[in-house]
Chain A
């Protein structure tokens, strides 16, 4: 009887440990990625164009060498965040990932969709009430820290330079109350 009880406790604790660790993995990896980016000088609330992906410059797993990347780190705990990015003729997208690695928003930047801006806010925050929210902005909610990523098709250095130049026209900033 004692051994049955011990086996039951072992199994119960194994299931608890398994689920706790498994569900924590994405958040921990995302948190580590954010920390690595911060170490490399990627500040909060600003788009930073990545250098062309090569074996020497890769910072995340499985980067695509055919794309130009720009990244912005933000935290909706500090208030709503406004994200914009200009469209171009070639394939491109703006995607937002939450702290659990979910792809919570995506907009195409190749002119096929009329994307102007998106405001990301925490749950319960009414982003529309902020003065700095542009008319027609899309709104989404999420919690805590997030990453926004612009991908643009750039299979060679010339197209990569053009894509990198477009980063200056994009905005990633806290919305003014």
Chain B
């Protein structure tokens, strides 16, 4: 009887440990490990299996948690970075410049999300920068914008607000990506460069 009770307890502990590890790896409890980053280009990461039935259960769980209703790669691909060119975590008390050129897609946008994968709670109306903004700048092949918590001192500069974002990341969406990008992402995409300009308490 004692042996049976012991095995029952061990079984419950095993179930609990297995379930807890699944919640962690799926990003439900804590941020979990870095998964779903099969494509890595200069600090920007993506995974071509997003949205498809081919995605493994870990990627499916994390996409459900962090990117529900994501499209398949033929329609859109998503690249994310949470660090600047020096490898430092992006924070709302720093100022960054983001620059880039022509993107291998019909249309693209870069959006800032906070640590909970939400648009940051501010009313600045500066949530993203996109291909239309680059065209309005007259420089679709050489564009740039600023990421900062306020626009003071640079009223004419295009910006994306990081106010109330805490630690954040940037997501590059490429709609209707070219076949070249899908076939050879590393050789085709020159991702945006995220450069720290100033950091409170560091510079």
Q: Which residue of A lies closest to B171 (CB)?
A: A62
* Main secondary structure on B side of the interface with A: mixed
Is B75's CB within 8 Å of the partner chain A? yes
Chain B residues with Cβ under 8 A from A103's Cβ? 51-52, 69-72
Q: State whether A91 and B106 are in contact (beta carbons under 8 Å apart), knowing that A10-B11, A22-B22, A106-B71 are contacts in the complex.
A: yes
* A19 and B128 contact, CB distance less than 8 A: no
How far apart are the CA atoms of A93 and B69 in the complex, in Å? 13
With contacts A97-B69, A102-B52, A149-B69 known, is A66 near B176, CB below 8 A? no
User: Which of these, A16, A60, A62, A149, contacts B18 with CB under 8 Å?
Assistant: A16
Is B58 a contact of A61 with CB atoms below 8 Å?
no
Contact B119 A101 (CB under 8 A): no
Q: How far is the CA of A6 from the CA of B11 in the complex (A)?
A: 8
Which of A26-34, A130-138, A166-174 participates in binding chain B?
A: A26-34
Interface size of B by CB at 8 A reads 60
Instruction: State whether the Cβ of B91 lies closer than 8 Å to any Cβ in chain A.
Output: no
User: Chain A's nearest CB lies how many Å from the CB of B154?
Assistant: 21
> Which B residues are CB-close (under 8 A) to A30?
64, 68
Residue interface bits B62-85, CB-to-A below 8 A is 1, else 0 = 011111111110110000000000
Known contacts A55-B120, A62-B67, A97-B69; is A25 also within 8 Å of B26 by CB? yes
Residues of B within 8 A of A58 (CB): 118-119
CB within 8 Å of A: which B96-144 residues = 106-107, 109, 111, 113, 116-123, 127-128, 130, 132-133
Is B130 within 8 A of A13, CB to CB? no
Q: B3 interface residue, CB < 8 Å from A?
A: yes
A32 to chain B, nearest CB (A): 10
Report yes or no: A17 in contact with B15, Cβ–Cβ below 8 A.
Answer: yes
By the criterion CB–CB under 8 Å, are B64 and A91 in contact?
A: no
B107 is contacted by which of A56, A149, A153 (Cβ under 8 Å)?
A153
Residues in B neighbouring A14, C-beta threshold 8 A:
14-15, 17-18, 21
Q: How many A-B residue pairs have CB under 8 A?
A: 159
> Is there a chain A Cβ closer than 8 Å to B195's Cβ?
no
- Residue B23 lies at the interface, judged by CB distance under 8 Å to chain A: yes
Given contacts A17-B19, A26-B60, contact A61 B14 (CB under 8 A): no
Give the residues in chain B near A35, CB-CB below 8 Å: none
5 contacts between A and B (CB under 8 A): A16-B14, A17-B22, A26-B61, A61-B67, A155-B130
List residues of A whose CB falls within 8 A of some B CB: 2, 5-6, 9-23, 25-26, 29-30, 33, 53-56, 58, 60-66, 91, 93, 95, 97, 100-103, 106, 108, 147, 149, 153, 155
Residue numbers of B with Cβ under 8 A of A are 3, 6-7, 10-19, 21-23, 25-26, 28, 51-53, 57-58, 60-61, 63-72, 74-75, 106-107, 109, 111, 113, 116-123, 127-128, 130, 132-133, 171, 173, 175-176
* Extra inter-chain contacts (11) besides given A25-B60, A54-B127, A56-B121, CB under 8 Å: A16-B18, A21-B26, A22-B57, A23-B57, A55-B121, A58-B119, A65-B119, A91-B107, A149-B69, A153-B107, A155-B130
